[in-house]
């Protein structure tokens, strides 16, 4: 006996990465489910993602989460992809299996879990507005459609990008369904009628900006969801709050996407409620 104990190693790779809450989340999951593992932050040079992953794997790493700006490179690096990663066109979770690298994307399922389970709002038969058509929007598109909303409108500053997502959605919906979801693209000013759920997948919140939508598309029964989060409400949530909408930021999505990655790696499903509550508390204490 050498006395050396091998601990399974995982990490989150990004640039920047110092802000990442993933190590705290996975440490809580590991403690809760008695998994013997470590999970660290890994700062990869902007031009050194593949090298960083390879070094980590060669040193015994078993899996990694991938964040900005490497999700497309992770997609390209994977030797095989889950269906949801293929649909998202991006990878946020890698699992190393010998010479193989499995690429998954747990963002969309994380968003849906947070809305349905944590907020208690079903997507089925609802009228939903998805704002934005970049990587974040694409990543959640098919998991939203899988919940069978009545209608999905995709609005974006650059209309052609929203139209591309509509095309992707239609191709997906056309397969195996005789009751397809009504999917369309729109300009901000073309939006009319009220929505049951509005999801902000733009990065406008980063510049404390709100897409120029009319307050008339919101009501007191609307769930306004911002995929971003912070110590204080985003500009979109402040705007939606004035219309009396139910508000939710992306902290729950962060925890739920982590739970899905943890399940992929360890085969154990962690409990998320207490972890989300703790994270919220520490965010508000900042
Ligand atoms: P991400 O990976 O976060 O989705 P992205 O792929 O660069 O990043 O996409 C950013 C999204 O936010 C896009 O939909 C972008 O609109 P455009 O396609 O027209 O560029 C949207 N966006 C960014 N800043 C915005 C703003 N101030 N107002 C409205 N939409 C904004």
To the nearest 5 percent, what fractions of the chain are helix, strand and coil? 40, 20, 40
Q: What is the pLDDT of residue 25?
A: 98
Q: What is the pLDDT of residue 179?
A: 72
Q: Is 225 a residue whose pLDDT tops 90?
A: yes
- Residue with the larger pLDDT of the pair 70 and 177: 70
Q: Which domains does the chain have, with CATH numbers?
A: 8-105+252-284 (3.40.50.10860), 121-248 (3.40.50.720)
Atom of ligand 1 nearest to the CA of 209: 27
**Strand pairing report for 246-248 and 37-43:** unpaired
Question: Contact at 8 Å (CB) between 214 and 145?
Answer: no
The pick from 75, 202, 209, 254 for probing ligand 1's pocket by mutation, whose C-beta has the most ligand atoms within 8 angstroms, reads 202
Question: Contact at 8 Å (CB) between 78 and 103?
Answer: yes
Question: Contact at 8 Å (CB) between 170 and 101?
Answer: no
Region 55-61 average pLDDT: 96
Q: What is the pLDDT of residue 175?
A: 53
What's the distance, Cα to Cα, between the start and end of the chain in Å?
A: 46
Question: Contact at 8 Å (CB) between 43 and 14?
Answer: yes
d(CA 142, CA 149): 11
Region 273-284 average pLDDT: 95
The pick from 134, 162, 207, 236 for probing ligand 1's pocket by mutation, whose C-beta has the most ligand atoms within 8 angstroms, reads 134
Tokens coding 168: 């992707």
Region 136-147 average pLDDT: 95
Q: What is the pLDDT of residue 1?
A: 47
Q: How confident is the model at residue 5 (pLDDT cuts 50, 70, 90)?
A: low
Q: What residue ranges line ligand 1, CB within 6 angstroms? A: 132-137, 156-158, 161, 202-204, 207, 209, 211
Atom of ligand 1 nearest to the CA of 136: 4
Q: Which of 3-17, 35-49, 142-156, 272-286 shows the lowest per-residue confidence on average (mean pLDDT)? A: 3-17
**Protein residue with its CA nearest to atom 27 in ligand 1:** 204
pTM of the model: 0.95
Helical residues (DSSP H) of the chain, grouped into ranges: 22-33, 49-58, 71-77, 83-88, 107-113, 135-145, 159-173, 235-242, 251-266, 273-284
* Span 148-197, pLDDT tens digits: 999 999 999 999 999 999 999 988 776 556 678 999 999 999 999 999 99
Region 125-132 average pLDDT: 98
Average pLDDT value over all residues in the chain: 95
Cα(203) to centroid of ligand 1, in Å?
5
State the burial class of residue 72 (Cβ atoms within 10 Å of its Cβ: 0-12, 13-18, 19+).
middle
């Amino acid at each position: 006996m050498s006395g050396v104990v091998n601990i399974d190693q995982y990490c989150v790779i990004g640039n920047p990465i110092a802000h990442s809450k993933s190590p705290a989340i996975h440490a809580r999951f590991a403690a809760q489910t008695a998994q013997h593992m470590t999970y660290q932050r890994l700062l990869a040079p902007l031009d050194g993602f593949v090298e960083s992953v390879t070094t980590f794997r060669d040193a015994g790493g078993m899996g990694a989460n991938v964040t900005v700006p490497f999700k497309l490179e992770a997609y390209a690096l994977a030797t095989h992809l889950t269906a949801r990663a293929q649909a998202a066109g991006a990878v946020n979770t890698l699992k190393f299996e010998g010479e193989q690298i499995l690429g998954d994307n747990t963002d969309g399922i994380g968003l849906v879990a947070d809305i349905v389970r944590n907020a208690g709002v079903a997507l089925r038969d609802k009228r939903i507005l998805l704002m934005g058509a970049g990587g974040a929007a694409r990543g959640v598109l098919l998991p939203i459609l899988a919940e069978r909303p009545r209608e999905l409108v995709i609005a974006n500053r650059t209309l052609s990008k929203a139209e591309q997502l509509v095309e992707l959605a239609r191709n997906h919906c056309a397969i195996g369904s005789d009751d397809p979801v009504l999917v369309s693209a729109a300009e901000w000013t073309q939006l009319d009628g009220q929505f049951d759920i509005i999801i902000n997948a733009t990065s406008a919140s980063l510049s404390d900006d709100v897409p120029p939508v009319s307050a008339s598309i919101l009501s007191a029964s609307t769930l306004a969801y911002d995929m971003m989060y912070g110590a204080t409400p985003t500009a979109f949530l402040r705007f939606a709050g004035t219309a009396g909408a139910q508000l939710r930021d992306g902290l729950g999505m962060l925890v739920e996407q982590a739970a899905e990655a943890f399940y992929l790696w360890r085969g154990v499903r962690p409990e998320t409620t207490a972890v989300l509550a703790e994270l919220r508390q520490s965010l508000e204490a900042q």
